[in-house]
Amino acid sequence: MYDFLIVGAGFAGSVLAERISSQLDKKVLIIDKRNHLGGNCYDYYNDIGILVHKYGPHYFRTNSKKVYNYLSKFTKWRPYEYKIRTYVNGELYPIPINRETLNKFFKINLKTEKQAKEFLKKKRIDIENPQNSEEEVISKVGWEIYKKFFKNYTIKQWGLNPKQLDPSVCGRIPIRINNDDRYFTDKIQAMPLNGYHELFQNLLNNSNIKIKLNTNYWKIKNKIKYKYLIYTGRIDEFFNYKYGKLPYRSLRFKHENYDKEYYQDWVQINYPNNYEFTRIIEIKHATGQKNSKTTIVKEFPCTNGKPFYPIPRNINYRLFEMYKKEADKIKNLIIVGRLAQYKYYNMDQVIEESLRVFENINY
């Protein structure tokens, strides 16, 4: 008999397992259908000895001291600010769009933030309340930048036109009038010093926690006794798709090894208009690993496969709400995480939400 059964050993499940076992001194069984901990954050050393991220690059960043202090109990850090480039018209440009991008793209010479602001004022389309991702971008930078840097990347990534996506999707990427070329401006940006897998092992290192990998909830649900269920998988699957499937976007990852120290100068290069992949990642730049060989990963978006991205648009939110209402009716059930809450969460947001959920557990 367990006090809690937790489905999913990603950040949502693992943070809750850690809190419940250490703070409430309760017995937890955490299961995952995959053969490893960490959910989508899992990393491992590949055949040629390079630490790679199995499911896409995971750059940790946050403005939350609370999240950072919490995680710091389970890992040391390697400070690292992510700077990437995007390949447009045969050249590499800073992305997010900044003053250097504008100068290079429009072949001009804006020297100050004021000049850049004035310039964008002339380019931008006057839309007071952007209703979708196309409107979001053109209302800030106009059509030329939109078409070359955003439109095709978004179509490739989501299989949808930006017009069909919530403004928040392209709105994740800021537009800058200075020359800051960091991808994020969060106060804390770092990688777990020895990788994510070690961080998860430390999170779950408590005698109150039992871990079972290669274990699908649907196969064991009637064989295990527990008082509370914490579920971090797909919410539509939980209810046997009774209202229909919630769409998620997937990715196929192509790993390639090279017998040279670095393949590219940047941790990530985006390809909005060329090739079928959206980006090439060389995570070694971020992990800081020294090795004479390297591994890169190309990301090919697709419909079928593991559910990596909830697709932010109203029609999907409405369907999600129907499932959420069902979940709220079940007393001993807690749903949390990117899949279960159908939210385009970053890691720090999932951790913050899991800590909040823990505070509200009335055991």
**Which of residues 57 and 233 has its CB atom nearest to ligand UDP in the complex?**
57
Terminal C-alpha separation, the chain:
15
Q: Which does 272 bind (CB under 5 to 8 A by kind): ligand FAD, ligand UDP, none?
A: ligand UDP
Tell me the C-alpha distance between 154 and 150, whole Å. Answer: 6
Q: Which is nearer to ligand FAD, 8 or 167 (CB)?
A: 8
Options 4, 59, 146, 277; binder of ligand FAD; rule CB under 6 A? 59
- Residue range at the interface with ligand UDP (CB under 6 A); choices 19-27, 37-45, 169-177, 312-320: 169-177
82-111 residues in contact with ligand UDP (CB under 6 A) are: 86, 95
d(CA 75, CA 249): 31
Task: Answer yes or no: are the C-beta atoms of 232 and 351 closer than 8 Å.
Answer: no
Binding part of the chain for ligand FAD, among 54-62, 138-146, 286-294, 326-334 by CB under 6 A, reads 54-62
Q: How is residue 49 annotated by DSSP?
A: S
By CB under 6 A, tell whether 34 contacts ligand FAD: yes
DSSP line for 268-305: EEE-SSSSS-SEEE-THHHH----SSEEEEEEEEESSS
Q: Does 358 bind ligand UDP (CB under 6 A)?
A: no
Show the binding pattern over residues 30-69: x = contacts ligand UDP (CB under 6 A), - = does not.
----------------------------------------
Residue 271 binds ligand UDP, judged by CB under 6 A: no
Q: Are 3 and 23 in contact (CB under 8 A)?
A: no
61/197 with CB nearer ligand UDP: 61
Kindly tell me the burial class for residue 42, based on how many C-beta atoms sit within 10 Å of its own C-beta (0-12, 13-18, 19 or more): buried
User: Is residue 147 a contact residue for ligand UDP (CB under 6 A)?
Assistant: no
Q: Are 159 and 249 in contact (CB under 8 A)?
A: yes
Residue type, 313: R
Helices assigned H by DSSP within 174-313:
196-203, 217-220, 235-238, 284-287
Instruction: Look up tokens 């447009």; give the residue.
Output: 88
Q: Binding of ligand UDP at residue 173 (CB under 6 A)?
A: yes
Binder of residue 96, out of ligand FAD, ligand UDP, none (CB less than 5 to 8 A by kind):
none
Do residues 123 and 141 make contact, with C-beta atoms less than 8 angstroms apart? yes
Site string for ligand UDP, 331-350 (x = CB under 6 A): --------------------
Q: Which backbone phi and psi does 202 adopt, to 5 degrees?
A: -70, -40
Contact flag: residue 10 with ligand FAD (CB under 6 A): yes
Residues that bind ligand FAD (CB under 6 A): 7-13, 31-34, 39-41, 55-59, 216-218, 232-233, 251, 308-309, 337-339, 345-348, 350
Residues that bind ligand UDP (CB under 6 A): 86, 95, 149-150, 153-154, 157, 169-170, 172-173, 270, 272
